[in-house]
């Protein structure tokens, strides 16, 4: 195994690239293309898991690291050249950036209000809900004339560089670098959640006032890091940093009246109840306020569990996502840098990342008819597999 590890790893990388490219062959059939890409997406996890297993068991060498790095770069360059076949979110980013460029406030206008003819824009009837940091990133990308997914790709590349500087064992860096989720969601589909991963991981790595500033930037990207404040107070307390955090967040209130921010908050908590997409434990609740209450309770309880910061963040995100009514696959990417930094084995979290691409079947109806219909049986099989495997791992570790 040691002698042939470089060749095996190169073969796995080649197979990954081949499957990634094959999804684009169905150019004239929307349903076939989406099905092909989503199945291939899950298949690439087989190569990913085997590669992680090999990397965690063979001695590191310069040649081995070179194969890992070159493969990670190749995955991303190929994915960037492919169309965003599994998402229309880039249309939303582009619309908001264009609105800003025209001197309009995207927080106060929607595509419907401006009579935009492209009804594929997600949230067609709603004004912007992302934080100003993300809006600024989209605007800068739009100004360059580059594809909108350039912003997400840049953030994920910076995250990889930041992780490389931690001098982890190479297999831990591969959790990020060879992750099919990162390749497909941030480099092919262009989802902007790579920004919150980068900023929150920067906050995780720093201390003093600096960590709070990074946490503020993460919160001004998407709003849920606000629930990590109790954890940061218990493990990264800094009076000047906490003041800086409060000032940065309060500054964003100047962008619109308080009443409009309340509307935004109500809308963004919709992913904790409202519409449902790939829901896991939310199906056992009766109201979205229960999901919000569970998330707040988890936030307040974690400081008392005496876990490491990476493990605490993993616990919070696990509960937060498990009780969300709307689990988009790219949300699971929030876990990746903390899985790499944690002392815990990553497999129970990587399994849903491997299975959920199969739930992209809803995109077929959305693209062909504008309707979003989920295969409930598919979701039951996916989440049942996750529960059984995670439970087995948990109890086998305890008994061992």
For the chain, the domain total comes to 1
Q: Give the total residue count for the chain.
A: 400
pLDDT tens sequence for the chain (400 residues): 556 788 899 999 999 999 999 877 766 777 788 888 999 999 999 999 999 999 999 888 899 999 999 999 999 999 999 988 888 889 899 999 999 999 888 888 888 888 777 777 887 788 888 888 999 999 999 999 999 999 999 999 999 999 999 999 999 999 999 999 999 999 999 999 999 999 999 999 999 999 999 999 999 898 899 999 999 999 999 999 999 999 988 877 666 666 666 666 666 666 665 678 888 998 888 878 888 899 999 999 999 998 999 999 999 999 999 998 889 999 999 999 999 999 998 999 999 999 999 888 887 777 766 667 777 788 888 888 888 888 877 777 655 4
pTM over 0.85: yes
DSSP 186: I
Q: Measured between alpha carbons, how far is residue 130 from residues 61, 111, 152, 227 in Å?
A: 43, 15, 14, 16
Q: What is the DSSP string of 1-56?
A: -TTTHHHHHHHHHHHHHHHHHHTTS-TT-HHHHHHHHHHHHHHHHHHHHHHHHHHT
Per-residue tokens: 84: 């965003």
Tell me which residue of 297, 271, 101, 104 sits closest to 193, measured CA to CA: 271
Could you please report the per-residue DSSP string of 365-393? HHHHHS-----HHHHHHHHHHHHHHHHHH
Q: Alpha-carbon distance 132 to 315, whole Å?
A: 27
What was the pLDDT predicted at 267? 64
Is the CA virtual torsion 191, 369, 273, 346 positive or negative?
negative
What is the Cα–Cα distance from 373 to 375, expressed in whole angstroms?
7
Nearest partner of 56 among 171, 176, 167, 173, judged by Cα: 171
Residue 123: domain span: 5-399
């Amino acid at each position: 195994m040691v002698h042939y590890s470089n060749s095996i790893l190169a073969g796995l990388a080649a197979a990954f690239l081949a499957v990634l490219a094959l999804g684009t062959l169905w150019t004239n059939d929307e349903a076939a293309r989406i099905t092909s890409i989503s199945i291939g997406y899950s298949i690439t996890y087989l190569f990913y898991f085997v590669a992680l297993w090999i990397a965690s068991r063979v001695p590191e060498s310069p040649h081995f690291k070179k194969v890992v790095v070159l493969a990670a770069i190749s995955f991303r360059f190929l994915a960037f050249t492919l169309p965003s076949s599994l998402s229309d979110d880039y249309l939303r980013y582009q619309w908001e950036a264009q609105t800003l460029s025209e001197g309009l406030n995207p927080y106060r206008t929607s595509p419907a209000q401006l009579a935009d003819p492209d009804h594929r824009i997600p949230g067609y009837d709603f004004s912007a809900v992302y934080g100003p940091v993300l809006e600024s990133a989209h605007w800068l990308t739009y100004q360059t004339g580059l594809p909108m997914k350039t912003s997400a790709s840049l953030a994920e590349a910076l995250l990889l560089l930041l992780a490389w500087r931690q001098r982890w064992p190479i297999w831990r860096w591969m959790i990020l670098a060879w992750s099919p989720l990162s390749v497909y969601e941030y480099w092919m589909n262009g989802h902007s959640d790579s920004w919150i991963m980068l900023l929150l991981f920067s906050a995780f790595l720093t201390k003093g006032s600096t960590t709070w500033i990074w946490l503020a930037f993460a919160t001004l990207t998407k709003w849920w890091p606000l629930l990590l404040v109790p954890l940061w107070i218990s493990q990264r307390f800094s009076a000047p940093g906490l003041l800086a955090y409060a000032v940065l967040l309060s500054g964003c209130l100047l962008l619109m009246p308080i009443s409009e921010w309340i509307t935004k908050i109500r809308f963004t908590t919709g992913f904790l109840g409202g519409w449902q997409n790939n829901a896991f434990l939310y199906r056992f609740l009766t109201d979205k306020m229960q999901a919000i209450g569970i998330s707040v309770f988890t936030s307040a309880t974690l400081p008392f569990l005496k876990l490491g910061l990476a493990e605490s963040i993993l616990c919070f995100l696990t509960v937060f996502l498990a009780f969300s009514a709307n689990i988009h696959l790219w949300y699971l990417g929030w876990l990746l840098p903390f899985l790499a930094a944690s002392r815990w084995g990553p497999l129970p979290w990587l399994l849903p990342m491997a299975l959920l691409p199969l739930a992209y079947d809803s995109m077929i109806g959305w693209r062909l008819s504008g309707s979003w219909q989920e295969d409930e049986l598919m979701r039951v099989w996916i989440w049942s597999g996750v529960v059984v495997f995670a439970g087995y791992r948990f109890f086998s570790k305890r008994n061992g």
